Structure 1
Amino acid sequence: MARRRGWGGSPPDSDEDASRRIVAAAVDLIGQTGAAIGIADVAESLGVIRQTVYRYFPSADALMRAAAIASVDGFLDRLDRAVAGLGDPVEAMVEGIVFTLEEVRRTPHLGILLTGAYADIHPDGMLSSEARVFGTTMIRRFDVDWARHGYDDDALDELVEYVLRTMQSFFVSPGDPPREGDDLRRYLTRWVGSAIAAQSRL
């Protein structure tokens, strides 16, 4: 039996092309499985040996991080659609939290941007500078006039920290049974919503 040719019979024409195709394959595999993947999985999908992938990505964590970064724009676009037209800060934040929790569970490589790892939730990962920048980017895209509701830059930074801490608790201990959908929305609106709305009264 003839040996299958790597790269689908069309080798990359540069290191940049090879790296891009490896990341694209990783993103595609994660989308199919909804789970973290390894170097061997990506190598097999491309028809190359593991050492070829290792040439560009020294570990599965590095590859998952690249996959996360490559997926950011798509995630933010989907988030925009989920919160479009929500001008109330509580309603927008609750919907944003619910969407993010569900999305990260479906596509674990995105969790790297919030947790620092895809295999386990690192206690400090949710509050890393990378996670906080990503969180700030998220909420600044909302259709919320934050200034009108009493939020300056410092208050927004604290809000991001508070929301990340909240999401961390759901990642670490989702509950038994876990809250989902409208039940989760009601819970967040009652408790997290109260904290978010309090800023306008300060």
Structure 2
Amino acid sequence: MRTRGWDGDLPRDETEARGRIVAAATRCVDQLGPTKVNIAAVAAELGITRQTVYRYFPSLPELLLAVAEAGAEQFLDRMQAFVAHISTPVEAATESIVFTLSTIRSEPYLGLLLQTGENVAFSRGATSARATSYGAQMLARMPVDWPAFGIRDDELPDLAEIIMRLTFSFLQYPADPPHSDDELRTLIRRWLGPALRG
């Protein structure tokens, strides 16, 4: 049984402590699955008390959101590969939504708050300044000449926010019966397309 905090290896500072807690939470997601992760499991993984975890992350949703954000870069890399052939704003928006909807529920980190029922916290995080910044970065990485279509670089965060709001609306309130990927593409192109064509 562990008798010393941090398994005898204290972190140098708060940044390292937070990083270790997020890494431990990620391991717990891998080992236990997203529905069984809790603060006690993360604390046990590190050899610390639950109170220590709470000092850095006041709630489980906040900790899981940090795990999700840590996996965001990998998610963006996969999306970039998926949309590498895209050259127009309409297709960029359409395919980014389709990709996210088809992968996020099985994505072990970005989708974990949805799978544990913390939809409200995740949705709030998905439209935060940090999240829209990630979205704008993703749009900027696409092979689309945005200015040629009348979309300035400083407008990409706004477009990212609209795309994310649509995405999470589809996630929280799916169609009944569900749309196929091609049906979803048709729907998005029909109603979002005119706005992006100017």
Normalising by the residue count of structure 2, what TM-score does the alignment of the two structures yield?
A: 0.74
2-structure distance, mates of 1:194, 1:6: 61
Q: How many residues align?
A: 192
The corresponding residue for 1:132 is 132
Question: How big is the shift at 1:41?
Answer: 2.8
Question: How big is the shift at 1:158?
Answer: 4.2
Question: How big is the shift at 1:123?
Answer: 11
Question: How big is the shift at 1:160?
Answer: 2.8
User: Which residue, 6, 12, 15 being the options, matches 1:14?
Assistant: 12
Report matched runs for 1:61-140 at 5 Å.
61-107=61-107, 110=110, 119-121=118-120, 125=124, 127-140=127-140
**Alignment CA distance shift 1:8-1:128 (3 Å):** closer
Question: How big is the shift at 1:84?
Answer: 1.3
Gaps of 5+ in 2: none
Q: Which moved more, 1:9-18 or 1:175-184?
A: 9-18
Question: How big is the shift at 1:121?
Answer: 2.9
Cα RMSD over matched residues? 3.4
The corresponding residue for 1:187 is 187
Write the letter of the residue equivalent to 1:119. Answer: E
- Partner secondary structure for residue 192 of structure 2: helix
1-structure distance, mates of 2:4, 2:181: 43
- The answer to whether the 8 Å contact 1:36/1:109 transfers is no
2-structure distance, mates of 1:127, 1:28: 26
**Alignment CA distance shift 1:18-1:152 (3 Å):** closer
Report Cα offsets for 1:79-136 as digits up to 9, x if no partner.
2111113112222221111222334333475369xx9xx7123698354433332322
Gaps of 5+ in 1: none
**Alignment CA distance shift 1:5-1:76 (3 Å):** farther
- The answer to whether the 8 Å contact 1:39/1:53 transfers is yes
The corresponding residue for 1:26 is 25
**Alignment CA distance shift 1:130-1:42 (3 Å):** same
- The answer to whether the 8 Å contact 2:7/2:46 transfers is no
The corresponding residue for 2:141 is 141
Write the letter of the residue equivalent to 1:28. Answer: R
Percent of residue pairs bearing the same amino acid type: 41
- The answer to whether the 8 Å contact 1:27/1:71 transfers is no
2-structure distance, mates of 1:36, 1:104: 18
1-structure distance, mates of 2:144, 2:162: 18
Question: How big is the shift at 1:11?
Answer: 3.0
